[in-house]
Structure 1
Amino acid sequence: MKTALILPAALTALVAGAKADPLTLDLPGAPERMRFAYECSDGVRREVEYVNLPDNDLALVEAGPSRRLFVGVISASGAKYAAGAQVWWSKGTEASLLDVTKGDAPVAECQQSRKGPRG
């Protein structure tokens, strides 16, 4: 069974405020969706929607007007997602945002503050 997953095109927009058209991804399997809010050490509150499918894992990370689509990659522990030079790595109620161009230290350490409506 294939499921059409509709995501805002702003996921790929690099300029904040750009008009977003829907983006539909035709991926196999029924998605499991969960939404969480995180309070982060850089003072930014991030809303994250996780979309898990049999062959694909996605994380849509929102911080204010900025949205970024992260794709699941192999991790020894926790769930790890990458988008360009950025990595979102979550385990339990904690998450880290890394910029691989700036070394191994996280840009922000985050703590889950609540489970959202789809969680």
Structure 2
Amino acid sequence: MIHMKRFLTFTIAGMAAHTALAMPLTVPQIQAESTQTTRYDCKDGKTVSVQYTNTRNRQSFAALTVDGRKLLFVSVMASSGARYVADRFVWWTKGPQANLYDDTAAKDSPPLLADCQARAK
């Protein structure tokens, strides 16, 4: 019996409907355990789709498009909820709600995406 391993693979096309070609990112050393996509409706009327991946070694990732760039966010320690970072951006979820921040903006700056609510499944 051959034991097949699932590896962490993100398909860039899955993050943006208008992308014609898919370039998968495969990291054989990190095995994905579960993947789910959640759509959020934000206060400003925008919608964002986020692909979450949890791995067997208890790492978590979130893939989403910010300013036209497809980014892979990595989970980091948070006082509450789940906090993911990529480049200068922070995607912070608490239950079904989420906000996107620019970590280089002034402390009192509003989120780039505010009061995003996960759609019911």
Task: Could you tell me which runs of 5 or more consecutive residues in structure 2 were left unpaired when the two chains were aligned.
Answer: none
The residue that corresponds to 1:114 in the other structure is 120
1:44–1:63 Cα contact (<8 Å) kept: no
Greater alpha carbon shift after TM alignment, 95-104 vs 78-87 = 95-104
Instruction: Kindly tell me the number of residue pairs found equivalent between the two proteins.
Output: 111
Using the aligned pairs only, state the percent identity.
36
Name the structure with the higher strand share: 1
The residue that corresponds to 2:87 in the other structure is 84
Aligned positions of 1:100-111 closer than 5 A = 100-104=103-107, 105-109=110-114, 110-111=116-117
Q: How far apart, in 2, do the equivalents of 1:17 and 1:3 lie?
A: 25
Task: Note closer, same or farther for the CA distance 1:27–1:91 as it changes in structure 2 (3 Å cut).
Answer: farther
TM-score (structure 2 length as normaliser): 0.74
Matching residue within 6, 21, 24 for 1:22 = 24
Tell me which structure has the larger Cα radius of gyration. Answer: 2
2:7–2:32 Cα contact (<8 Å) kept: no
1:50–1:57 Cα contact (<8 Å) kept: yes
SS in 2 for 1:31: strand
Task: Note closer, same or farther for the CA distance 1:80–1:39 as it changes in structure 2 (3 Å cut).
Answer: same
TM-score (structure 1 length as normaliser): 0.75
Aligned positions of 1:88-99 closer than 5 A = 88-99=91-102
Task: Could you tell me which runs of 5 or more consecutive residues in structure 1 were left unpaired when the two chains were aligned.
Answer: none
Q: How far apart, in 2, do the equivalents of 1:31 and 1:89 lie?
A: 22
Aligned alpha-carbon RMSD (Å): 2.9
Q: How far apart, in 2, do the equivalents of 1:2 and 1:28 lie?
A: 10
The one-letter code sitting in structure 2 at the alignment partner of 1:26 is: P
Greater alpha carbon shift after TM alignment, 26-35 vs 48-57 = 26-35
Aligned positions of 1:11-50 closer than 5 A = 20-50=22-52
Q: Point out 4+ residue stretches in structure 1 off by more than 6 angstroms.
A: none
